[in-house]
Amino acid sequence: MGKTKAIIFIAMSSYPQSRSFLLHLLMILEWVLLGIVAISQIIVVFFTTLPNLLIVNIFGLGLFALLGRMKPQQYLSKLIYTLIEFVLIFCLIFFGNLVLPTILFVILVIRNGMLWEKPYRGLVTGFAFVGCIIGLSYNLFSQFRPFNIPSDQIGVVWISVFFSIGLIILFLHLLVDAALKERQRQEELSATNARLREYALRIEDLATVQERNRIARDIHDSLGHSLTVFGIHLEGALRLMRSHPDKAEELLREIKQLNTRTLQEVRQSITVLRSDPLQKKSLSEAITDLMTEFYKSTGVLPTFDNQLKSLLSHEVDVVIYRIVQESLTNIRKYAVATEVKISLIQSTTDLKITIVDNGKGFDLTQNTTGFGLQGMRERTLALKGKLEIITAPNQGCRVMAKIPLSGIN
């Protein structure tokens, strides 16, 4: 679980924050261009004799800059906002003799490109280009030319500026599109990042629940089994105390040995949260020990049909052992059986574990959520197997687990 959390944390931390470098660059460019227009307007006052309303133009530029701080959201407010920008620029051109008006239209393309969605963004860019041409034509063909351009060169300058401004506006339009796409991708990554954090918390909760269930299942399988044997042996020792003290003493010695082994399992569970129930024995030896314990406590010796053809993985051995152990524990506690059969049959495709008794049986619909039955189901399912229990009152019980061999050896 810790490794999973670490991987998720590294994956989440690798995502960038929701901030577009291009948009930030375009905002800086907007203020730089505004500064260029303002400075050029001041320079023209000192170096030309053209009529120029400097205070009005600076005020208009300041108002245009303040409009850039506004971010209308509704369609109507966006439309009014854009119209005000166009009207303000044209007023500065026609009434204030503003130089470099094309730069204001370039700023308008940047600003409104981030404001409008497609296809309105392209429409605003087209109107801004038309505005550039109108402002350029007014400056070049009116008597108030800010620069000393010979009359016979005005057409060449107009054509050059026309294509230059067109390319600049097209480039900025595409750049704004790219910046908006980048921001959209980063917002999606940020949303994914947030979902990953949420999923990480969910995975942690699920892992905690699964770990608790696993520990509860192991405690039930190991400690619960040992305590059940304790109770049965003590009950038998108390019955035999007066009539057969030797047998009672033998049972008490077995209880002591079982107690020592159980304490060892508990200590191992505390240190590794999972003890090895086989204790380095083969599966056949471990099941034989379970049968011996069952015989000593019930007087019934189970039969064992072992048809395993090859060695299995330790994980599979533990699952088989736990299924047999839980079945024998239930038979000992509830079945009052006189005959128990255990069989392990290995075919080319799967492994079948069967435990059959002729005891009292039970109503399966009334006993489906206990740790024992649930533990057997979970262990079998973990190996992509299937567990089936066939029983009814007074008809014995048959526990059958079928585990596919592919990928478990």
Q: What is the pLDDT of residue 389?
A: 93
Q: Which long-range contacts (CB under 8 A, 24 or more apart) does 387-390 make?
A: 387/323, 389/364
**Cα separation, 286 vs 278, whole angstroms:** 6
What pLDDT, in 10s, does the model give residues 199-238?
Answer: 766 766 665 666 667 666 666 666 667 777 777 877 877 8
The chain-wide mean pLDDT, for the chain, equals: 78
What pLDDT, in 10s, does the model give residues 23-40?
Answer: 777 778 878 888 887 887
CA-CA distances (angstroms) from residue 285 to 76, 280, 281, 304? 84, 10, 6, 11
The reported pTM is 0.42
Q: What is the pLDDT of residue 6?
A: 43
For the cut 60, the answer to whether the pLDDT of residue 5 exceeds it is: no
The residue with tokens 């990928």 is: 407
Regarding predicted confidence, which is higher, 343 or 181?
343
Q: Which of the following CATH numbers is that of domain 301-409: 3.30.460.80, 3.40.50.2300, 3.30.565.10, 3.40.50.720? A: 3.30.565.10
Band of pLDDT at residue 288, cut at 50, 70 and 90: very high
Q: Where are the domains of the chain?
A: 2-196, 301-409
Longest Cα separation, the chain? 136
